[in-house]
Amino acid sequence: MKINEKNFIKFLKKKNEKALDYVVDTYGGLIKSIVNKHLYNLKDYNEECIHDIFLAVWYGVDQYDTEKGDFKNWIAAIAKYKCISYKRKYLEEYSIQDLESIEITADNIEIEIEQQELKKEVDNLLDSLKPEDKKIFIEYYIEGKTIKEISSSMNIKDENIYNRISRGKKKLRMLFGNK
């Protein structure tokens, strides 16, 4: 039997790989545009994220309910949440630009909005730390200061800064599920 828009979900639930091929062919462009929109600053991880989205569809298709909505909306929601997960997962590798230094043009308004959303996510993430630890994380990961600079400005030993960073990272992993 040929897989088409009327029967692909049934075959996908039966783990027919041709049904997954149909989903990739039909919804691949949508997924790629969502990933490019949300992970514009994580280009190295776009392909990995796209693969994870299709894996989530493959393993999670039993959770899809035709009565609750369209498959296109369901897969788009999965893509958006996977992108958010990737932003959180790789947040430590990227610093946030100072939003005041960005020259606003019609081309980069969307980028500015994305950066503001990312900044809010970072603030929400770091709010779970003690104020002193939050300050250390901001100075170390966002402002790019060295451990020596931070320890001298805060009058704390280098070893204590390393310990606070380590404990803070463990706490964030525990709270946000990236063990």
Domain ranges of the chain: 8-89, 101-176
Write down the architecture of domain 8-89 according to CATH: Orthogonal Bundle (1.10)
What is the CATH T-level fold of the domain 101-176, as seen in this structure? Arc Repressor Mutant, subunit A (1.10.10)
14-70 pLDDT per residue, tens: 999 998 999 999 999 999 999 888 887 677 778 888 999 999 999 998 888 888 888
> CA 63, CA 27: separation in Å to the nearest integer?
18
pLDDT for 105: 55
Other Cβ atoms less than 10 A from the Cβ of 61: the count is 22
What is the average pLDDT score of the chain? Answer: 82
Q: How far is CA 14 from CA 18, 28, 46, 56, 108, in A?
A: 11, 21, 28, 15, 44
